[in-house]
Amino acid sequence: MECCAFCTASSYQIKPLFESLKAQYTSSLMRDVIHVEFSKGVDVFYFPFGAVVCWGVPLEKGKQYLNLVENFAIKPLNEIEEEHFTFTYGNKYQFIEDNLVLPNDLAMTKLTVSHGFAQSVKLGAFEHTISSSFEKTRQIPINLASKGKIPLSRKEIRKKMGALFLDRSSINLHVDVLDTPEFFWEHPELEPMYLDVANELDIQNRGQVLNQRLDVLRELFEMLGNELNHQHSSRLEWIIIWLILIEVIITLLTRLNLL
């Protein structure tokens, strides 16, 4: 059997989405996650941070359930992030190399694992945002190292700073979704299963790398700010020089006229 996870937006409007789904399908709200049982064995979980996890359907079929959240998505992504897993049922839980064994088909068990899957696919979206930011600005430190300056106008630097700020803020606002969900405060007996999924998907290490890359972006943001200030200072210096020069010329002309 198959399980697929998607990240389609920055976040979802969970309450309106729940009301919409409840009117059409068998739905329940488990803390802040919506569970919909579309048919026997087909369970879909909608997470507030823009992720969807589908159980019992292949990847292409799972994409059909994304249509239900389109009207409730905040800041939809340009490209949908997706991950795919296989699972079976067995005597005990096990998760090795994307092959998952569930001890039962209970919604709570699937929700536990879904938390890890949703975090992983959200993290993947963050990683792509960061990679895109680095790609858009990679020439800046290269030019600074080779030429000693950034060959951009003040307007272009401001645009780069604005783009970096948006990328950083979009991640910083939601980076807490990588923490252990509060759901497990109420269900501590399920937390070991979630932690194993998170460990298998390397969520903690990937989160640390993400934070390190965010720090690099922050330093780049500061560097652009310094360059902007330097350009402004240089411009003021030249204005002052020209004003002094004009004053000297006027003084000389005045004295020549007096002679």
Interhelix angle 191-200/107-137, rounded to 10 degrees, is 30
Q: What is the pLDDT of residues 93-111, one digit of tens each?
A: 999 877 899 999 999 999 9
Q: How confident is the model at residue 173 (pLDDT cuts 50, 70, 90)?
A: low
Of the candidates 115, 53, 37, 62, the one whose C-alpha atom is nearest the C-alpha of residue 45 is: 53
Q: What is the pLDDT of residues 5-62, one digit of tens each?
A: 999 999 999 999 999 999 999 999 998 999 999 988 899 999 999 999 999 999 999 9
Of the candidates 168, 158, 137, the one whose C-alpha atom is nearest the C-alpha of residue 225 is: 158
Rounded Cα gap, residues 29 and 186, in angstroms: 15
pTM, 2 dp:
0.80
Domain boundaries, the chain: 2-225
Looking up tokens 């290269």 gives: 142
Looking up tokens 């997470």 gives: 47
- Residue 20 is predicted with a pLDDT of 95
Interhelix angle 107-137/203-258, rounded to 10 degrees, is 30
φ, ψ at 102 (rounded to 5°): -100, 145
Of the candidates 213, 226, 222, the one whose C-alpha atom is nearest the C-alpha of residue 134 is: 213
Q: What angle do CA 35, 108, 191 make, to 5 degrees?
A: 125
Query: Does the pLDDT at position 220 exceed 80?
Result: no
**Mean pLDDT score across all residues of the chain:** 84
φ, ψ at 153 (rounded to 5°): -75, 165
**Other Cβ atoms closer than 10 A to 111:** 23
Q: How confident is the model at residue 191 (pLDDT cuts 50, 70, 90)?
A: very high
Pair 12, 20: CB distance under 8 Å = no
Amino acid at 129: T
